[in-house]
Amino acid sequence: MKATLSRFLLAFMLLSLVQGGFRGGVTHAQGNSIQVRVMTYNVDEASDFGPIVTASTPAELLAAVAEIYSEVQASNIPERAEGFARKVEETLPDLIALQELSTWRTGPLLQPPATNIQFDALQSILQALAARGLSYVPVAVSTNFDAELPSAAGLDVRLTDYDAVLVRTAPFVPTRTTRAAALRVTDIQVHSFMTNISFTSPVLGPVTIPRGWISIDATTGGKPFRFVTTHLESFNSAVRLVQAQELLAVPLNTPIAVILAADLNSDAESNDPDQNGAYRAILAASMVDAWSSAHPGDPGLTWPLHGEDPFTAMSSPTQRIDIVLVRQPRVVSADLVGANPSTDLTPSGLWIADHAGVVATFELDRARGFLR
């Protein structure tokens, strides 16, 4: 795959940050504690890819790819990025976990690799943030899969799916907030899961969908904490549970304070072990759910806000799969964002994503470096 100039510059910037120690912003509270605010948001690729998975003939596959790409075009990724930036401006998180970021490329039919970038969700988000005077940098990007298929529209369509973590890079204006301390990123880990879903397509044959996780160690006021994000498997509960166990064995296995902000694809409000197994496994490892701690008895459903394959403009959320979990925390607040049809639709009447985001604030004990 040919690297674009923007990807090269991003890679160079990340290397410089890791070598030199990156400084961004973090919340300060009064007294003997520091507040950290985080956001998790699945920003939506605009399709669940059902037509591709179910295609049984080459002709059906070509039509499915064209249908999905048309859905992506209609989803207006740049406009939705503007809506996301507005939510960031309203909440001012210190760290942001993003899932279902996508780069869509096109190219001549049956002549891979496709290199003409049509939509780049991360670049659209960064541009929208900068336009609002918000200073965030992607300190880690986890590429999950990169796939290209021909379409009935007479061109190849290529999707690169990835997750990312953004960190605030500049103090907030004092008149807007009192948060203005330094956050130092000291270690960044990006890894693929060892276990991923595999299936056989009638047309494509064996297919594996890789996923992964990001872990960032940071310090503020000389005290450490770890921030982790992931996007667990959505279609297979057994694979999802194994991926959760991998999280517990590696990035969540730390003595310092740890924050997991992610799309777990595991319904926290379900009583069905097949639906909530991954969430329950992580919760059992001395983790606290920020939403249920701040809003006991409130289901806080996050998905789906609209339907896909085919697209439907509105739907009633049935699951809480976008979750922030913390080990030994003091939860200050937790809020859903991007879920109010009266205020959160774009000018074209679109949701920012089919998921609501979650913003949570925690107190980090200055003396011990652990969340209380």
More confident residue, 183 or 226: 226
pLDDT tens for each residue of 300-343: 999 999 999 889 999 999 999 999 999 976 899 999 999 999 99
pLDDT tens for each residue of 238-290? 999 999 999 999 999 999 999 999 999 999 999 999 999 999 999 999 999 99
Nearest alpha-carbon partner for 260 in 192, 213, 210, 298: 213
pTM, 2 dp? 0.90
Residue 17 has pLDDT above 50, yes or no: no
Mean pLDDT of 199-214: 95
pLDDT at 208: 96
Is the confidence at residue 291, as pLDDT, over 90? yes
pLDDT of residue 365: 73
Give pLDDT, residue 120: 98
For residue 215, pLDDT over 60 is answered with yes
The pLDDT tens digits of the residues spanning 24-78 come to 555 444 456 788 999 999 999 999 998 999 999 999 999 999 999 999 999 999 9
Average pLDDT of 131-141?
96
Residue ranges and CATH numbers for the domains of the chain are 20-365 (3.60.10.10)
What is the per-residue pLDDT for 35? 86
Share of the chain above pLDDT 90, in %: 80
